[in-house]
Amino acid sequence: MSHTRRTTSHSSVELLVTRLTNRWRGEADVLHRRGADEQALAVESCLADLQDEARTLSLEELTLEQAAELSGFSYSAVQKMVSEGAIENVGKKGAPRVRRGDLPMKACNPAKHPASEPDLAELVLAQGG
């Protein structure tokens, strides 16, 4: 497990999943209370699908090249984190792989990523997702 603090990319996705999970669970509860059990089951099914996809994405195995591109760290920095055990190698010696969910994210350069970047969770929730 990594001790490096995760930032924007993972946090936005995790926040989106958490918000939708909480919202859809609440909506399913209301539907059950009002006798709309079939509709509640449909919402719960969507909720389960979302959680499964989030889990699958988190467990996706990446090459060090992919991990470096995604995280913003250099290839050598990712390689060092794996060799030091900061990120678990889920591949083989000589062909390392890391899980997407274990990957730390380098802090963004504000000049490259302006603070006005939209919040994914807010966009989805605003559209009634």
Tell me: the pLDDT tens digits for 38-81? 999 999 999 999 999 999 999 999 999 999 999 999 999 999 99
The answer to whether residue 16 is domain-embedded is yes
In a domain, 114, yes or no: no
The answer as to whether 81 is a domain residue is: yes
Q: Is residue 99 part of a domain?
A: yes
Q: In whole angstroms, what is the distance from residue 18 CA to residue 124 CA? A: 12
In a domain, 83, yes or no: yes
Confirm whether 115 is domain-assigned. Answer: no
Domain contains 120:
no
Q: Domain range holding 89?
A: 8-107
Tell me how many domains the chain contains.
Answer: 1
- Model confidence, pTM: 0.67
* CB-based contacts of 16-20 (< 8 A; 24+ apart in sequence): 16/120, 16/121, 16/124, 17/50, 17/51, 17/54, 19/121, 19/125, 20/47, 20/50, 20/121, 20/124, 20/125, 20/129
What's residue 7's pLDDT? 42
Label residue 6 by pLDDT band (50, 70, 90).
very low
Residue 90 predicted with pLDDT over 90: yes
Residue 117 domain-assigned (yes or no): no
